[in-house]
Amino acid sequence: MKFTQYYLDCLSQASYLIGDESSGRAVVVDPRRDVDEYIRDAAAAGLEIELVIETHFHADFLSGHLEMAAATGAEIGFSSVAETEFASRKLTDGEIISLGDVKLQILHTPGHTPESISIVVWEHADDSDPYGVLTGDTLFIGDVGRPDLLASIGFTRDELADQLYESLHTKLLPLPDATRVFPAHGAGSACGKNLSTETSSTMGEQKATNYALLAPDKKTFVELVTEGQPPAPSYFVYDAILNRKDRDLLQESAPPVALDLAALEAAVAGGAMIVDGRTPEDFALAHLVGSINVGLNGRYAEFAGSVVPHDVDIVLVVEDGFELEARNRLARIGFDRVVGYLEHPLTVMAAHPDKVQRASRMTAREFEDRKSDIDGLQLVDIRNPGEIAIGTIPGATLMPVGQLGGRLDELDPTAPTVVFCAGGYRSSVAASVLRQAGFQDVTDIMGGYGAWTELFATA
């Protein structure tokens, strides 16, 4: 058996290639949209990808089933209860898919979404125990799928939580303890609240340590898995719907269009937004007025999708050579309206200082020393509820970065505003959003709450 897990850190997303080297037949499960890597690896192993299986309609990324099918001729498989605009194979509960000696079994495991499935994998068809199970967003390492995402339109949170409990207890927990668990996401994903940094486990380990599986009854389980979930990024509903649809394919090797300053300004005049993918430090030194800073060195697509509408054109500003990476990472969440990138941005900014501004930043110590002298200070904590539960800087307004755009009317655009997150990445995103929205005096705290607590939490 050929079994490969592909883990995408910036989206905390896992996909899988499973093949039978004796027959040369393979499947890919939950592929990302840039699919060349799966195809190259399959070819190198002498495998032909004949089926692409989606464990559910993903909300946190735009899956690559259409790209994979177009490139390989593979069928696309979804749960038999899933309705798609494109041709797809209906996978029934209990169905066996034989790749030769390697065998897969489909289990319907609704709860995270109504159409969720898990896939049990046998390395040899006559093995008494399975090699592992791909659990999608039903079971994570240390957590279970959240039942409250708006991807499941028409179902209540409690209805899905009830289904999730039944799926876990009747379909997954009966699997042998040695069965390896391979989920679709890990730590950092907004698809759960307690995901481990580990990307695989066993059923035995999860039965012994997973807080949700240790719930003594269904009522307690529902209460545990529905409380304290992080806010879902605003693009989740868009992706969940788009994953059902027939749509344009990503041409992952085709570079975006190079723009000069005049072309960029024309695009902005037509409604485009500038997304600057440089580090917060470089952005603070100089950036084009009106830019949103979402650094490529972090969870770029997730936070771009949290603060940039999906239905606007985008112009990229990145270090030379990173244009294609930035375009493809946005494409992974279905943000295809990249009209181009600014060519040689540092040269352009040096030649046009009137188009450029700096971003105000301060250290935690500078903030503490100066805060009492700032008249009308507006302090904003843009972390998620789970982070805020461990503490915040006194006097802060709590406003997760993904909610910022919809809650601007709760803030005073004329007040001096200081923004902080955990470490300084998201605060640069949020501060740039506020400046772009017309806030006049915005600063963020370098090092964020982490730096502040080191200096002052026990003082």
pLDDT in tens, 348-375: 999 999 999 999 999 999 999 999 999 9
> Is residue 317 classed as helix, strand or coil in its secondary structure?
strand
Residues 6+ apart with CB under 8 A from 422: 383, 387, 448, 449, 450
> Is residue 456 classed as helix, strand or coil in its secondary structure?
helix
Assign residue 21 the CATH number of its domain: 3.60.15.10
Count the domains in the chain.
Answer: 3
Same domain, 142 and 290: no
CB 168 within 8 A of CB 112: no
Residues 6+ apart with CB under 8 A from 27: 17, 18, 19, 49, 50, 51, 52, 53, 97, 99, 104
pLDDT in tens, 83-138: 999 999 999 999 999 999 999 999 999 999 999 999 999 999 999 999 999 999 99
Same domain, 342 and 375: no
Compute the distance between CA of residue 334 and CA of residue 131 in angstroms, rounded to an integer: 34
Residues 6+ apart with CB under 8 A from 306: 233, 234, 235, 401, 402, 429
Spans of the chain below 50 pLDDT? 151, 459
Same domain, 237 and 106: yes
Distance (Å) of CA 447 to CA 236, 291, 336, 362, 426: 28, 22, 32, 9, 10
Is 80 inside a domain boundary?
A: yes
Q: Which residue, 207, 242, 277, sits at the end of a domain?
A: 242
Same domain, 277 and 370: no
Q: What is the CA radius of gyration of the chain?
A: 23
What is the reported pLDDT for 232?
80
Same domain, 209 and 266: no
Q: Which residue, 178, 211, 242, sits at the end of a domain?
A: 242
Is 250 inside a domain boundary?
A: no
CB 258 within 8 A of CB 399: no
Same domain, 292 and 396: no
What is the reported pLDDT for 151?
46
Is 249 inside a domain boundary?
A: no
Same domain, 41 and 141: yes
Same domain, 231 and 94: yes
Is 87 inside a domain boundary?
A: yes
Q: Which residue, 242, 269, 297, sits at the end of a domain?
A: 242
Burial code (b: 16+ CB inside 10 Å, e: under 16) for 259-297 equals bebebbbebbeeebbbbbbbbbeebbebbbeebbbbbbe
Is 143 inside a domain boundary?
A: yes
Compute the distance between CA of residue 449 and CA of residue 447 in angstroms, rounded to an integer: 7
User: Which token pair is 178?
Assistant: 């040695």
pTM exceeding the 0.85 threshold for the entire prediction: yes
- Site of tokens 């390896």: 180
Assign residue 364 the CATH number of its domain: 3.40.250.10
Whether the CA torsion 325, 331, 335, 336 is positive or negative: it is positive
CB 356 within 8 A of CB 323: no
What is the reported pLDDT for 150?
54
What is the reported pLDDT for 195?
80
CA angle (278 as vertex; 276, 282 as ends), nearest 5: 115
Of 454, 385, 452, nearest in space to 420 by CA: 452
Q: Print the domain residue range for 306.
A: 258-357
Is 338 inside a domain boundary?
A: yes
Residues 6+ apart with CB under 8 A from 178: 129, 202, 203, 204
Same domain, 345 and 369: no
CB 104 within 8 A of CB 96: yes
Same domain, 387 and 398: yes
Is 252 inside a domain boundary?
A: no
What is the reported pLDDT for 247?
97
Is 227 inside a domain boundary?
A: yes
Same domain, 329 and 388: no
Same domain, 231 and 112: yes
Compute the distance between CA of residue 209 and CA of residue 380 in angstroms, rounded to an integer: 36
